[in-house]
Amino acid sequence: MEKLKDTIKKIQSPDPGLLEKAQTKLDDLTKPQGSLGRLEELAKQIVSITGDINPKIDKKAVLVMAGDHGVVKDGVSAYPQEVTMQMVLNFLGGGAAINVLARHIGAEVQVVDMGVAAEFDPDPKLLNKKIASGTNNMTEEPAMSEAQAVRALEAGIEVAGTMIDSGYNIIATGDMGIGNTTPSSAITSVICNTKVEEVTGFGTGIDQEGLKKKIEAIKKAVLVNKPDPKNGIDVLSKIGGFEIGGIAGVILGCAANRIPVVIDGFISSAGALIAHAIEPKCAHYMIPSHCSVEKGHSIALAHLGLTPLFDFDMRLGEGTGAAIGISITEAAVKILNEMATFSSAGVSTKN
């Protein structure tokens, strides 16, 4: 756990002085004060994250963490498990929605095999961090061991570190894993102390009978495993997923290195809940892109104290919402860096 412990130690609270400097700069731009609303707040957040009054966003990455789940045996998904493997190949081929949106914003897509129940040929766009070929069925036993949970977190930290060392200065989280709204709902229910029914939705399109099975499976998993809501590693090991642990690790790694991390939808928010339970200060480094249609997402974001940038009725995952979130964040930074000031433009200020 040394890598995890060292990462946690590096995560610091934001410097209020940086927020003040950013506000002063924003107020001197050629516009009425506060007239760009959330864009201004976002620009201030990026300054406080990076420690740079003139922050740069010029190298962008979307990390798609992939893993399979033993709980699919309980009929919680409308799709078979092999779709995880097939979609990873689609990502590598550049044909998925996240590939299209990443190209649109000029971002790199890096796929990470955290625990897919299949083997892949070597590919430079695929990182092999496989913990195991899918988790255990959490309705019968812990989804993974505590050691595997730590390995998943540290793998995410390592991936984030590699990208940051390569010059990426904003990172988005994405996911792929058939059945992964089930552990995400379980994590949200436990950490947010909310009834399972209130955080469990239809995922990829199950019917009412499927939703009933899903809720029953989550309740059984929580009853069997009794995860400690205050212990992020315990929650991850008992009712989580390898890709969810990887996402949590990416968030912690970005926070430790003062790099903004744009979180996607419901699965990414489950990873964010795990990261927050481990080190609450990491929430400041998260940019919540959108509010998913999945009913538990708004509850998770509220627990984290985060307000999403937009709501487009999205529920795909993959990092698709986060890619759009990067674009909005880049716009906020450009406002801060590229607008003229009143004095430089020769524009009179108000009386």
The catalytic residues are 318
Rounded to 5°, the CA angle 145-147-149 comes to 70
Residues in the chain: 351
Tokens 């707040």 sit on residue: 41
Nearest C-alpha neighbor of 144 from the set 50, 67, 200: 67
DSSP 50-104: HT-SS-----EEEEEEEE--GGGGGS--SS-THHHHHHHHHHHHT-SHHHHHHHH
Other Cβ atoms less than 10 A from the Cβ of 87: the count is 23
Other Cβ atoms less than 10 A from the Cβ of 276: the count is 24
- Cα gap 223→243, rounded to integer Å: 23
Report H helices in the chain. 2-10, 16-27, 38-50, 82-93, 97-105, 146-165, 181-191, 196-199, 208-225, 232-239, 242-256, 266-278, 296-304, 320-338, 342-345
Structure tokens at 308: 């999403």
Nearest C-alpha neighbor of 282 from the set 179, 118, 189, 153: 153
Q: How far is CA 70 from the centre of its chain?
A: 22
Nearest C-alpha neighbor of 179 from the set 80, 252, 46: 80
- Cα gap 33→20, rounded to integer Å: 14
